[in-house]
Amino acid sequence: MTQEVVSNGTPLMEVTDLVKHFPVKSSGVIRRVVGQVQAVDGISFQLEKGQALGLVGESGCGKTTAGRVLCRLYEPTSGSMKFEGDEIGHLSNKEMLPYRREIQMIFQDPYSSLNPRHTVGTIVGTPMHVHNTVPKNTVLQRVQELLETVGLNPEHYNRYPNEFSGGQRQRIGIARALALQPKLIIADEPVSALDVSIQAQVINLMQDLQREFDIAFLFIAHDLAIVRHFCPKIAVMYLGKIVEMGDRDQIYLTPHHPYTQALLSAAPDVRHAAIGGRRERIRLEGDVPSPINPPSGCRFRTRCWKAQDICAAEEPPLLQVGGRQVACHFAEPLQVIVAPPTGDGPTVGKPAAVEARGATSTAQANGGGPLG
Amino acid sequence: MTETLGSTSADTATTTTTTTEAHDDEPFLVVEDLTVKFPTHDGLVHAVSDLTYSVKLGDTLGIVGESGSGKSVSSMAVLGLHDMRSTRMTGSIRVNGDEIIGTKNDDMRKIRGNEVAMIFQDPLSSMHPFFRIGDQLIEAYRIHNRGASKKQARARALDMLDKVGIPQPSRRIDDYPHQFSGGMRQRAMIAMALINDPRLLIADEPTTALDVTVQAQILDLIQELQREFGSAVIMITHDLGVIAEIADETLVMYAGRCVEKGPTKEVLTHPVMPYTWGLLGSIADVTSDTSKPLIPIPGTPPSLLQPPSGCAFHPRCTFTDRVEGDRCTTELPDLVPGPQGASHLKRCHLEDPESIYEVELKEVVFG
Q: What is the pLDDT of residues B181-190, one digit of tens each?
A: 877 888 899 8
Residue A65, pLDDT above cutoff 90: yes
Indicate left, alpha or beta for A41 from its phi (over 0: left) and psi (-120 to 50: alpha): beta
Residue A26, pLDDT above cutoff 50: yes
User: What length is written for chain B?
Assistant: 367
Encode burial over B172-196: b for 16+ CB neighbours within 10 A, e otherwise.
Answer: bbeeebeebbbbbbbbbbbbbbbbb
Among candidate residues A127, A340, A347, the one with its CA nearest the CA of residue B362: A340
HSE-CB of A63 using CA atoms within 13 angstroms: 26
pLDDT-derived band at A69, boundaries 50, 70, 90: very high
Judging contacts by C-beta atoms under 8 Å, the chain B residues touching residue A201 are 282, 296-298
Which pLDDT score, from 0 to 100, does residue B66 have?
Answer: 87
Give the chain A residue whose CA is nearest to the CA of B185. A287
Secondary structure string (H, E, C) spanning chain B = CHHHHHHHHHHHHHHHHHHHHHCCCCCCEEEEEEEEEEEECCEEEEEEEEEEEEECCCCEEEEECCCCCCHHHHHHHHCCCCCCCCCEEEEEEEECCEECCCCCHHHHHHHECCCEEEECCCCCCCCCCCCCHHHHHHHHHHHHCCCCCHHHHHHHHHHHHHHCCCCCHHHHCCCCHHHCCHHHHHHHHHHHHHCCCCCEEEEECCCCCCCHHHHHHHHHHHHHHHHHHCCEEEEEECCHHHHHHHCCEEEEEECCEEEEEEEHHHHHHCCCCHHHHHHHHHCCCCCCCCCCCCCCCCCCCCCCCCCCCCCCCHHHCCCHHHCCCCHHHHCCCCCEEECCEEEEEECCCCCCHHHHHHHHHHHHHHC
Judging contacts by C-beta atoms under 8 Å, the chain B residues touching residue A58 are 211-214
B242 and chain A in contact, CB less than 8 A? yes
CB contact under 8 A, B239 and A196: yes
Helix, strand, coil % over all residues of chain A, rounded to 5: 35, 20, 45
> How is the beta sheet containing B60-64 ordered, strand by strand?
B116-119, B200-204, B232-237, B60-64, B249-254, B257-263, B341-346, B336-338
Give the chain A residue whose CA is nearest to the CA of B291. A229
To test the contact with chain B by mutation, choose from A162, A201, A205, A229 the residue with the greatest count of B C-beta atoms within 10 A, namely A229
Which pLDDT score, from 0 to 100, does residue A58 have?
Answer: 86
- pLDDT of A299-316, one tens digit each? 999 999 999 999 999 999
For chain B, give the mean pLDDT.
87
pLDDT-derived band at A339, boundaries 50, 70, 90: low
Judging contacts by C-beta atoms under 8 Å, the chain B residues touching residue A167 are 300
Structural contact between residues B248 and B263, judged by C-beta atoms closer than 8 angstroms: yes
**For residue B268, what are the CA distances in angstroms to A276, B298, B361?**
11, 21, 13
Structural contact between residues A152 and A168, judged by C-beta atoms closer than 8 angstroms: yes
Residue B267, pLDDT above cutoff 90: yes
| More confident call, B9 vs A134 | A134
Residue B12, pLDDT above cutoff 60: no
pLDDT-derived band at A340, boundaries 50, 70, 90: low
Judging contacts by C-beta atoms under 8 Å, the chain B residues touching residue A269 are 241, 244, 285-287
- Across B337-366, average pLDDT: 86
Q: What is the C-alpha to C-alpha distance for residues A198 and A51, in angstroms, rounded to an integer?
A: 24
- Give the distance from residue B298's alpha carbon to the nearest chain A alpha carbon, in angstroms: 8
Which pLDDT score, from 0 to 100, does residue A361 have?
Answer: 39
- Across B197-226, average pLDDT: 86
Residue % of chain B over a pLDDT of 70? 93
- pLDDT of A131-166, one tens digit each? 999 999 999 999 999 999 999 999 999 999 999 988
Which pLDDT score, from 0 to 100, does residue A287 have?
Answer: 76
CB contact under 8 A, A271 and B366: yes
Name residues 305-334 of chain B within 8 A of A (Cβ).
Answer: none
Q: What is the DSSP letter of A234?
A: E
Q: Helix, strand, or coil here: A219?
A: strand
Give the chain B residue whose CA is nearest to the CA of A224. B286
What's the gap between Cα B287 and its chain centre? 27
Mean pLDDT check: name the lowest of A15-19, A174-178, B13-17, B68-72: B13-17
- pLDDT of B104-160, one tens digit each? 888 888 888 888 999 987 777 788 999 999 999 999 999 998 889 999 999 999 999
Structural contact between residues B123 and B150, judged by C-beta atoms closer than 8 angstroms: no
Mean pLDDT check: name the lowest of A73-77, A211-215, B14-18, B34-38: B14-18
Indicate left, alpha or beta for B308 from its phi (over 0: left) and psi (-120 to 50: alpha): beta
pLDDT-derived band at B233, boundaries 50, 70, 90: very high
| More confident call, A114 vs A273 | A114
Write the single-letter amino acid at B324.
Answer: E
Residue A341, pLDDT above cutoff 70: no
pLDDT-derived band at A363, boundaries 50, 70, 90: very low
Indicate left, alpha or beta for B96 from its phi (over 0: left) and psi (-120 to 50: alpha): left
- pLDDT of A231-285, one tens digit each? 999 999 999 999 999 999 999 999 999 999 999 998 888 888 877 777 788 888 7
Q: Helix, strand, or coil here: A170?
A: helix
B239 and chain A in contact, CB less than 8 A? yes
Q: What is the C-alpha to C-alpha distance for residues B260 and B251, in angstroms, rounded to an integer?
A: 6
Judging contacts by C-beta atoms under 8 Å, the chain B residues touching residue A203 are 284, 294
| More confident call, A60 vs A172 | A172
Judging contacts by C-beta atoms under 8 Å, the chain A residues touching residue B183 are 287
Encode burial over B121-149: b for 16+ CB neighbours within 10 A, e otherwise.
Answer: bebeebbeeeebbbbbbbebbbbbbeebe
- Count CB neighbours of B244 within 10 A: 27
- Give the distance from residue A164's alpha carbon to the nearest chain B alpha carbon, in angstroms: 10
Q: Helix, strand, or coil here: A326?
A: strand
